[in-house]
Each structure stands twice: as structure tokens, then as C-alpha cells.
Structure 1
Amino acid sequence: MTKRADAKYKIDRRMGENIWGRPKSPVNRREYGPGQHGQRRKGKPSDFGTQLKAKQKLKGYYGNISEKQFRKYYAEAIRLKGDSSDNLIGLLERRLDAIVYRAKFVPTVFAARQFVNHGHIRVNGRRVNIPSYLVKPGDLVEVKESSKQAVTVLEAVGLAERDVPEYYDVDHTKMTAKLSRVPHANEVPYPVRMEPNLVIEYYSR
């Protein structure tokens, strides 16, 4: 097992939830936490504990973003007009690696980060290798020509475990994707319940 795969399964077990909805998640077999004390009955979490878990779950879902970067998204979310929870999710869904994952060009969000890093993606005809690059509505994201027939890409397109959200326009024959609009938090198809409002509360303490 690769380090990345190992990391994502650790996140699932630590959260006690299959946060990506993957069929191979260890949580599908046992829902308790890792380690010898994983089955110990836990007390009711405090408000802080609940907020912390909401933050870790959302941060983990997008490829275990660094704390520094995630805090920047919070700062930008509260600066923008409108609902801060919606703004936070909107920023995360605009990440280039998130779009590559949502468009089903790759099987996992970790693979999406690596795919972008290795220069397989172009935005408006220009190569972009920064996973955190924020795509604007209307930008054209495409897999570069020499990567369109890669086994990983072809397998990901055929995955039945998730669908492409309606706020992306994806053409799998051309391997292109466009963000048609920035989504609201309740439109994003998370396999488990995400609570961005608790993340906002966590940072605004």
C-alpha cells in the first residue's frame, strides 16, 4: 500500500466514517477507531471537540490540506460577502485538484493532487501544476493530450461510485471540465455529512 493510500485510510478510521464513500475503506468493515483502545466507549464530545472533528473531516476530505492553507480559506470565506459556510465550501470546490477529482479524471483526491503536480492538467490552454490553484467559473480545465489515454484516467471515468455534480460541465470524450458556477454547501455531494458552519465556529472562537 502506498503512503498516500495508507494516509487516506487512517483519516477514515480516525473520523470513524467513510468520508470519500470508497468501497475499500476499512470503516466498511469496522467502524471503531484505530489502535488497541479503538473500541473503548467514548464520552459525549465537547462543543470544541465537535467543531474540531468537523474541521478535520472537511480538511481531510480535500486531501488533508495543511492547517496554514485551510486557515487562509477561512479568512477569505469570512471576508467575502454572503454566508461564510457557503463561501468556505465554494473556495474548496474551486481548487484545481478538487475539480480534477469531481470531473472523474482520477479515482481519488490524493491522485488528483499528484496528477496536477506532475503537469497533466491545463487551464485555459496553459499548464498549471499547483493543486490549490483556484479556478474561476468559465475556466476550461483539460487533461493534456498525451495523458488522455492513461490507464488511471480511463479507469476513473468508469467509476460508478460517484457522479459528476451538476455545477461542473464535463465532457469525457474531450477530457474537459468547466466550473459553471460556485456551488452552495448543500449542493456538494459529500458521502458523509459535512458541517462547514462548525468549522467557521471553530476558527472564530
Structure 2
Amino acid sequence: MSKRASSKHKIDRRLGENLWGRPKSPVNKREYGPGQHGQRRKGKVSDYGTQLRAKQKLKGYYGNVSEKQFRKIYAEATRRKGDSSESLIGLLESRLDAVVYRAKFVPTVFASRQFISHGHIKVNGRRVTIASYSVKVGDLIEVKDSSKQLAIVLEATQLAERDVPDYIEVDHNKMTAKFARVPGLADVPYPVHMEPNLVVEFYSR
């Protein structure tokens, strides 16, 4: 598991956006960046800067995926037929940590990664402890029986700030989720505007 260099609130403030749509995000009160120079006037951003920011937003949203992992995902997206930016989103949303987060088994994508690594999740009846595990269409993801009554799970299922998208079929009574289909950009309920096309441009420079 990659070591997170900064907290989720710092990521929000650095990017100046409430990346996960959380009510406790500091950006809700202060839209400028952290540090003593956070409020200084920003100059015109170059094309490279715009592309870099798009990459930072997408990487940050999925729990600050390591550069090595993110580049690997991009390489796989460009190998596939069709729109590379759509493939990039599909691959990111197919990660086990993203599916567990989308299913509302945990409150954050960071918690999802930890939840999986601690052995609380099974895929098709088998325990999986790798957060980056690639979920296939039709796979059944479930919370282990002994973990279904954990406070973090019960609280997450009641969260009103986000809904389960239609490409994941969830039964919160059984604590199971089925990955129904690979989504495209328009299907994913991002709280902020994502630009995967700029990420593709960034890496193809």
C-alpha cells in the first residue's frame, strides 16, 4: 500500500476544491491553499499546469494513488480500444477500493483501502487484501460476516452525502455489492469536475 504523503484535507486545500464533497472539508470555509502564501494572487496557468492539476485531482480522488500505479493504469487505458480517457475512468472505478467506497461500506476511499488490507472484504467468496485488485463485471463483493456490525460500516451505509451509482448493485442488509458494468465518465458521481482527457494529454506529451 502506498504511503500517503498528505492528509485528505490538505489535498482539498492544495487543489482548492472539495474533492469528495465532504461537509467537513476546509475548502467549505477557505477556498485558498494552505500556508502563509495560500491567498496570494495566482498567475495564468500554462497548458502543462492545467494538465498537471487534472492529474492531481484524479489521483487524489482515488486516495492519492502512487505515481507508479497511476502510470500503469494510464498505460493499460491507452492499450485498450476506444477513448483512452473513458478507459482510464473505467479502470479506476474497477479498483476494489473504489467499488467498496462506491457501495458505501466505508465513509472514505482512504478507509476503503485500509478496510480491504485488514481483510474485511471478500470477492466471489474469497478474501482479497489488495486495494488495487481489479474487479470484473459480475463479481460479487461482500463484507466478511464478522465485520458487518463494525461501527464504520454501519455509519457509512447511513451517509446521506452520496448515493450508490447505478453500475453497482448493493444490498446493505446482506452487505453485498455486485459490479454490474464498467462505467464511463458521465456515469461516475464525482463531486467536482474531472478531466481525464487532460490526464491523457499530460502523459502523452
* Band of TM-score, shorter chain: over 0.9
How far did residue 112 of structure 1 move? 0.2
Q: Structure 1 CA distance, aligned partners of 2:110 and 2:189? A: 18
Q: Which position in structure 2 is the counterpart of 1:98?
A: 98
- Which amino acid is 1:187 matched to? D
> Percent identity over the alignment?
78
Q: Which position in structure 2 is the counterpart of 1:77?
A: 77
TM-score by length of 2: 0.97
Runs of at least 5 residues in structure 1 that lack an aligned partner in the other structure: none
- Which amino acid is 1:126 matched to? R
Q: Which position in structure 1 is the counterpart of 2:194?
A: 194
Over residues 151-193 of structure 1, what are the superposed CA-to-partner deviations in whole Å (9 max), with x where a residue is unaligned? 0000000000000000000000000001100001111000000
Matched, 1:123 2:114: no
Q: Which position in structure 1 is the counterpart of 2:30?
A: 30
Q: Structure 2 CA distance, aligned partners of 1:70 and 1:140? A: 25
Over residues 121-153 of structure 1, what are the superposed CA-to-partner deviations in whole Å (9 max), with x where a residue is unaligned? 000000000000000000000000000010000
- Which amino acid is 2:190 matched to? Y
Over residues 62-85 of structure 1, what are the superposed CA-to-partner deviations in whole Å (9 max), with x where a residue is unaligned? 000000000001000000011101
Matched, 1:110 2:102: no
Q: Structure 1 CA distance, aligned partners of 2:122 and 2:104? A: 16
Q: Structure 1 CA distance, aligned partners of 2:183 and 2:147? A: 28
RMSD: 1.0
Over residues 68-126 of structure 1, what are the superposed CA-to-partner deviations in whole Å (9 max), with x where a residue is unaligned? 00000100000001110110000000000000000000000000000000000000000
Q: Which position in structure 1 is the counterpart of 2:184?
A: 184
Q: Which position in structure 1 is the counterpart of 2:67?
A: 67
Q: Structure 1 CA distance, aligned partners of 2:105 and 2:80? A: 30
Q: Secondary structure at the match of 1:32?
A: coil
Q: Secondary structure at the match of 1:129?
A: coil
Q: Structure 2 CA distance, aligned partners of 1:38 and 1:8? A: 17
4+ runs of 1 displaced by more than 2 Å? Answer: none
Q: Secondary structure at the match of 1:178?
A: strand
Q: Structure 1 CA distance, aligned partners of 2:99 and 2:173? A: 17
Q: Structure 2 CA distance, aligned partners of 1:81 and 1:199? A: 17
Q: Structure 1 CA distance, aligned partners of 2:189 and 2:111? A: 19
Between Structure 1 and Structure 2, how many residues are aligned?
202
Q: Which position in structure 2 is the counterpart of 1:158?
A: 158
Q: Which position in structure 1 is the counterpart of 2:9?
A: 9
Over residues 20-70 of structure 1, what are the superposed CA-to-partner deviations in whole Å (9 max), with x where a residue is unaligned? 000000000000000000000101100000000000000000000000000
Q: Which position in structure 2 is the counterpart of 1:41?
A: 41
Q: Structure 1 CA distance, aligned partners of 2:137 and 2:108? A: 23
Q: Secondary structure at the match of 1:141?
A: strand
